[in-house]
Amino acid sequence: MIEPIPKPAPSQRGAIGTIHRDTLPIFIHEPVLEDILDYSEQDPGRELGGFLLGGLYIDDSEYVEIRHFLPAVEAQSRAASLTFTHDTWAKLTREVDEQFPDQVVLGWHHTHPNFGIFLSAYDLFIHRHFFSEPWQIALVVDPQRQEFGFFQWRQGEVVDCGFRCISE
Ligand SMILES: [Zn+2]
C-alpha cells in the first residue's frame, strides 16, 4: 500500500515544459532532481543511468510523484550506450524491496553526454519493454549541455513532456 500524501499545493505547481492535458502529471521533489543532475555530472564521458522511484496516485486525478533516485551502478556504460544487465534489474528489485518497499518504480534515467535530449531507437526499445505501464516515464540528462527532459506515454507513443517541481 502506498501511503497517501497531500497533493502539492497550487503554489508549488509551477510547470516546466509542455504539460499535455491528456497525460499523467509528473511531480518531482526539487532535492531529488538536484541529486539526479549531480549524479549525471559525475562522469560526462559516458552514459550513466538510474531509476526513478516514488508514488503513483490514482484518485480523482492521477499523477506520479518522484521521491527517490537509485543510481544503476553496475549497468554497462559506454560513451554512447547504456545497458541494464540482469544484475542491474536484480539489484533494483532487491533495493526497492529492502529500502523502499512502499515506493513504485516510476521510470528510468540516463545521460546523453553532449548529444542532447531525445530517446534513441534503443532507448525506445528499453522503454517499451521494461517501462510499458502507461504511467511509466523516462528522464534524459545531458550533463555537458546542461539540459534535461522527461518522456511519457501518450496514446501509445512515447512523447517528451513537461513536469512540475515541488520545492520543499
Ligand atoms: Zn539514450
**Ligand 1 geometric centre to CA of 41 (Å):** 15
- pTM as predicted: 0.88
CA atoms of 16 and 104, how far apart (whole Å): 23
pLDDT computed for residue 14 by the predictor: 67
CA atoms of 51 and 72, how far apart (whole Å): 7
Task: Sketch the domain layout of the chain as residue ranges.
Answer: 21-166
**Ligand 1 geometric centre to CA of 82 (Å):** 7
User: Would you say 109 and 122 are in contact if contact means Cβ atoms under 8 Å apart?
Assistant: no
**Ligand 1 geometric centre to CA of 112 (Å):** 6
**Ligand 1 geometric centre to CA of 115 (Å):** 9
3-state secondary structure of 59: coil
User: What is the pLDDT confidence band of residue 10, given thresholds at 50, 70 and 90?
Assistant: very low
Question: Which of the following CATH numbers is that of domain 21-166: 2.70.210.12, 3.40.605.10, 3.40.140.10, 3.40.50.1860?
Answer: 3.40.140.10
**C-alpha angle 128-131-135 in degrees, rounded to nearest 5:** 115
Report, as an integer, the average pLDDT of 24-49.
93
Report the chain's mean pLDDT, rounded to a whole number.
Answer: 87
**Ligand 1 geometric centre to CA of 138 (Å):** 10
Cα of 55 vs its chain's centroid, Å: 12
- Structure confidence by residue, pLDDT tens digits, 81-109: 788 888 888 999 999 999 999 999 999 99
